[in-house]
Structure formats: structure tokens, C-alpha cells
Structure 1
């Protein structure tokens, strides 16, 4: 019987693992901590695939070389290699994208592609990530059943830059639509919320929606941390 590993840190992926993996053949293992992902642990499991739906740390080259590692990137690769794909896509005006399942390589987001599936960018970041999770686990199911061969990326390489928390600040040059997009694209667990600062006070915005010609949102107000 084949062994598999899913390595992820986000609650929506962890929930999906517990719902989906029990329906699949094979022995499934969940890693949610950086310390679990060691070559010693993986050699004991000897996984056929290691899937990375959302992982915040670089995977050592020794693991990439010895095991078949697959990650899921929220762009139509090679367009959009790099950090903060969801936010960069929305800033650039995209309302849909592709979710790319690719073989991980030492060069970030440059490995060959197993599958691509369409993904809507409507709603909050949480909505989009949960939608992506359903698609991701469908893709995992396809990969373990059909074992497709990955094919090299084709097309012009466009790289994205990881956003910094300071870029979440709303400013007076933004249109109402840009304010709406900035709030919604950051509205997910562990992401720096869109904010406005007045002196030592920070206003963080979430749960935004359109109401006629206005935006309405939840505002959390607190003193700035040093």
C-alpha cells in the first residue's frame, strides 16, 4: 500500500485533509509543523508523493531530490512565479486564475506542471483560499489515481514579489474599488489586514462588502505595537 504526506499549515487545508484522506486508498500522513519535515521522518514513511497545499518554509534540496514533492501555486505558471500570488493577481486586475500543481525544484515555482485547474478570485481571501483548497484536493485525488507525468513550463516567465505588511496600508490615492480589493485580498487568517493609521492608533478592516455606492466593513481599532 502506498504512503503519502500532506504538509500544510492552514486550517482550511487541515480540515480538508481530515475529510478527504480517509476516503482515499493508501496510508496518509499530515505534517503541520516545520520540525516534522525531516529527511529521517520521510525515509521512515517512504511516501510516493509529498503534497504541499500551503507551506511557509523552504523545503531543503535534499528532500526535493530524494522525494516526489508537489506544490500548488495560484497562477498560470510560468506567469506569476514568486510570492503573494493571490494579492498580486488582484492588484493587477485579474478576476480568475489557474491553480498549478507542479513538481517542486530548487528554483522557486519553476518545476514542471502536473495539472492546471481554473480558479475564481471573487470574494475575500478566505473565500478564495477555501475554494482553492477544494480544487487542490481534487487535483491530489487525480494525481494519485492517474499518476500524470509533469511537463515543462511553457511561455514567458513573469515574477511576482512577496508583499510586505506595510503595503497593506490604505491611502488617499486609492479609488473605492482599490480600497475594496485591498481589504478583501488580505482578509484571511495570518495575513496582515488592510489598515489606516492615525498617530498611535491603527484601524484594521475586514469583512468588506459593497452597499450601493458605499463600502461597509468591520473595523478593529487598537494601539500600534512597537
Structure 2
């Protein structure tokens, strides 16, 4: 009998929502893991999935897990371009307006596995809007993989590597000298659990979110907090 057990491992609310609303209703028996600590050999063996899908997963998956089942992750670049961390933010920083979501078989080398399929993705909007759009595209890709069982193909072309961004890089750089550059910096960080764009001045931090680019101005929400260590009260 064909194995129809499938597992989705994700930590982000937009992916969890799409799993509950869409993916778990696909043919087969679907399981969800939302904590990295749950990815254990015993747990995976008890489920015995044909595929493990890792949408928006940032933890290292151990080699012994890769050996148990076919593991598939999703990367927001046209691989092999843009392997590595913070793909969405790096793409926007480099001026990209569109990209692809690549579904690839996971290997020990980061984002280097063979590709199952790719789908186009617009980079318009706030980061969370892009992530929600990505989650729905990933759901379509998962359906294609489990119904058609495509054979993944090795990546072709010169690889480039993105570096994972640090929270300190959320500070709006002084060299950003156009409203569009500042708008892009704010929007690419505007998602739940991401360090918001910020400025600091005279002991205060100004976290900026929900930007709207207007003619000659940016309208946004600002959260003002006292910087720790600079409290005088």
C-alpha cells in the first residue's frame, strides 16, 4: 500500500493557518509540527511520512532526519541564486521586485539540493503580506509534489550566497537617501516576530511599521521606547 502519511513542520503563523485551512484537507494523512524540539528521530519514525515539508523553517535539520524521509524545503529565490539567510530582505535590498519560490529536496549543504519546481512570487507589499502570499504558493507546490511525485533536478547555474541579517541591521542606514529606499527598508522588516526598522536619537528608540508611501512622504506607525541604560527616571 502506498504511504500517504505527510508531515509539515513550520513555526510561522501564516503557514500554520494555511495548513489548517488548506493543506490538511489534501488527500492522505497530514501531521503538523510547530516546534523544532519535536523534530526527533523517534517522532518522525512514529509518523513514517513519505515527505516532510519545511515551509519557513530556520532551524538546522539533522542528517539523521534527512535519512529517514524525503525532506522538502522552500526558498524565496530563483536557486541557485540567493542561497542562505534572509532571502526576502536581501532580495529587496538588492532591488528585486519579483522572485521565485523554489521547492527543493533538502541536503546537508544549505539550499543546494535538487529542485522539484519553482513558482513566481511578487515582492510587493509588507513582509508579512509577502509571507502570507508565499504560504499559499507553498500549499499549491505541496499539492503538486504529493500528487505528481516529480523527480527533483539538480540546480543549474552559478550559486550566490546571502548572509542572514542581524537585528542591528534593522536600523535605517544613514545612506538611505530616498523615500523609496527608506520605505523598502521599513516594509521588508514588517512581519510578526521580525525586528522592526528603527532609528535611535537622544536615548530613545523609534520602531517603525505599517509604512505607506505617498507623494513626497511616508506615513507609518511609530513605537517610541526608552533605550535601556539611558533611563533617567
Taking structure 1 as the reference length, what is the TM-score of the superposition? 0.97
Q: Distance in 1 between matches of 2:172 and 2:27?
A: 48
Match for residue 207 of structure 1?
210
Q: Distance in 1 between matches of 2:67 and 2:226?
A: 47
The answer on whether the counterparts of 2:23 and 2:139 sit within 8 Å (CA) in structure 1 is no
Match for residue 26 of structure 1?
28
Alignment: residue pair count: 226
Q: Distance in 2 between matches of 1:187 and 1:90?
A: 13
Aligned pairs for 1:62-211 (under 5 A) are 62-174=64-176, 175-211=178-214
The answer on whether the counterparts of 2:45 and 2:68 sit within 8 Å (CA) in structure 1 is no
Q: Distance in 2 between matches of 1:171 and 1:22?
A: 43
- 1:225, CA displacement in angstroms? 4.1
Write out the 4+ residue segments of structure 1 that deviate beyond 4 Å after TM superposition.
Answer: none
Query: For structure 1, which runs of at least 5 residues remain unmatched after alignment?
Result: none
Q: Distance in 1 between matches of 2:208 and 2:64?
A: 42
- 1:7, CA displacement in angstroms? 0.2
Match for residue 2 of structure 1?
4
Match for residue 58 of structure 1?
60
Match for residue 224 of structure 2?
221
Query: For structure 2, which runs of at least 5 residues remain unmatched after alignment?
Result: none
Match for residue 13 of structure 1?
15
User: Structure 1's 52 and 225: CA in aligned 2 closer, same or farther, altered over 3 A?
Assistant: farther
The answer on whether the counterparts of 2:52 and 2:72 sit within 8 Å (CA) in structure 1 is yes
- 1:66, CA displacement in angstroms? 2.0
